[in-house]
């Protein structure tokens, strides 16, 4: 069997699946063949607290709803279930394939987390691929929309559920990080605006001047009731910052994204993309 054939067999095949009932149904799953390199969710923070719980829930969703194979979880802080120890335990099944594909549990670039990811991957004893962060993507916009709807701040869709009287008329997406993270969040904000049919602006979570400027833009656009959407997966480290940003904006706020099924689908998608890039590079040799 050629290296190209071996590598292609490790790629997930997209299959149309029967939709689940309810709002969390998806459209596709990515089925991994036995022996494929494992998908490893790389989680900022330690294994304790909300981040570990969210990652564990997403790992189950990746397996049951997407790949059909167990997903591993590695944390970037602490010794318990650390990413380095998880990568040290994986083994390369075929010489032309990576031992694992690391998918960052991030909505976009993060100046503190990104170097830790690169160091962990570079120090792995076996070749490991590093996939792109989960966002930006329309699925994250859908997850933000759903969290807003759950908080009573947006209609679940344009036809049913809530009237415009009960929904907010302007939305502020806040993200931690620096300018690269802001630019990624702005892409998702555009996608969210198209879903909500309402103005959406973006600001860094710890930038009061940026929040003030976004609020002025929303007011200028005619928004009289504001809602804040945290562009954050694990909101525990940012709980106070989110509340402070909402208070400054005079806005109500939704829950962070958390263990949303859309993130499990995106993790499988990023895995696929990383494997496809590796296969393309192999074929060009």
Question: Which pLDDT value is given to residue 279?
Answer: 85
Among 97, 36, 105, 41, residue whose Cα is nearest residue 69: 36
pLDDT in tens, 80-127: 999 999 999 999 988 889 999 999 999 988 888 999 999 999 999 999
pLDDT tier for residue 166 given thresholds of 50, 70 and 90: low
Alpha-carbon distance 99 to 41, whole Å?
14
User: pLDDT higher for 7 or 218?
Assistant: 218
C-alpha distance from residue 113 to each of 76, 88, 106, 173, 179 (Å): 8, 20, 9, 21, 15
Closest by CA to 154, choosing from 223, 213, 220, is: 223
What pLDDT was estimated at residue 11?
55
Per-residue confidence band for 12, with pLDDT thresholds at 50, 70 and 90: low
- CA-nearest of 18, 24, 29 to 271 is 29
Q: What is the 3-state secondary structure (H, E, C) of 85-145?
A: HHHHHCCCCCCCCCCEEEEECCCCCCCCHHHHHHHHHHCCCCCEEECCCCCCCHHHHHHHH
More confident residue, 241 or 162: 241
* 171 Rama class: left (phi>0) / alpha (psi -120 to 50) / beta: beta
* Rounded Cα gap, residues 37 and 91, in angstroms: 9
Residues 6+ apart with CB under 8 A from 156: 23, 146, 149, 162
Residue 283 has a pLDDT of: 79
Residue 60 contacts by C-beta under 8 Å, 6 or more apart in sequence? none
What is the reported pLDDT for 167?
77
Q: What is the pLDDT of residues 114-146, one digit of tens each?
A: 999 999 999 999 999 999 999 899 999 999 999
What percent of the chain has pLDDT above 70?
86
36-67, pLDDT tens digit by residue? Answer: 999 999 999 899 889 999 999 999 999 999 99
- Helices of type H across 123-236: 138-150, 179-196, 208-220
Q: Specify burial of residue 38 (Cβ count, 10 A radius: 0-12, 13-18, 19+).
A: buried
Assign 8 a pLDDT band (cuts: 50, 70, 90): very low
The Cα 18–Cα 142 span in angstroms is: 20
Burial-class residue 9 by CB neighbours within 10 Å (0-12, 13-18, 19+): middle
* Mean pLDDT taken over the chain: 88
Section 163-176 average pLDDT: 80
How many helices and strands in the chain, by DSSP H and E?
9, 10
- DSSP annotation of 238 reads G
Q: What is the pLDDT of residues 185-228, one digit of tens each?
A: 999 999 999 999 999 999 999 999 999 999 999 999 999 999 99
Spatial distance between the Cα atoms of 279 and 5, rounded to a whole number of angstroms:
10
For the stretch 19-37, pLDDT in tens is 334 334 445 568 998 889 9
């Amino acid at each position: 069997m050629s290296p190209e054939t071996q590598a292609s067999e490790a790629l997930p095949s997209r299959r149309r699946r029967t939709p689940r009932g309810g709002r969390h149904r998806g459209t596709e799953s990515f089925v991994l063949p036995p022996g494929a390199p494992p998908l490893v969710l790389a989680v900022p923070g330690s294994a304790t607290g909300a981040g570990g719980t969210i990652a564990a829930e997403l790992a189950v969703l990746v397996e049951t709803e997407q790949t059909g194979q167990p997903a591993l979880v590695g944390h970037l802080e602490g010794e318990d279930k650390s990413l380095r120890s998880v990568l040290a335990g994986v083994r390369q099944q075929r010489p032309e394939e990576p031992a694992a594909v690391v998918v960052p549990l991030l909505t976009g670039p993060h100046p503190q987390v990104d170097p830790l990811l690169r160091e962990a991957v570079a120090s792995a004893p076996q070749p490991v691929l590093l996939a792109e962060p989960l966002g930006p993507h329309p699925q994250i916009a859908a997850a933000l929309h759903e969290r807003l709807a759950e908080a009573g701040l947006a209609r679940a869709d344009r036809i049913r559920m809530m009237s415009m009287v009960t929904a907010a008329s302007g939305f502020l997406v806040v993200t931690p990080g620096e300018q690269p993270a802001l630019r990624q969040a702005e892409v998702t904000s555009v996608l969210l605006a198209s879903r909500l049919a309402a103005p959406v602006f973006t600001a860094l979570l710890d930038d009061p001047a940026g929040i003030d400027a976004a609020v002025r833009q929303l007011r200028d656009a005619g928004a009289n009731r504001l809602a804040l959407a945290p562009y954050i997966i694990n909101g525990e480290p940012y709980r106070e910052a989110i509340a402070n940003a909402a208070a400054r904006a005079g806005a109500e706020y939704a829950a962070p994204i958390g263990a949303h099924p859309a993130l499990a689908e995106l993790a499988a998608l990023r895995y696929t993309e990383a494997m496809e890039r590796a296969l393309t590079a192999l074929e060009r040799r």
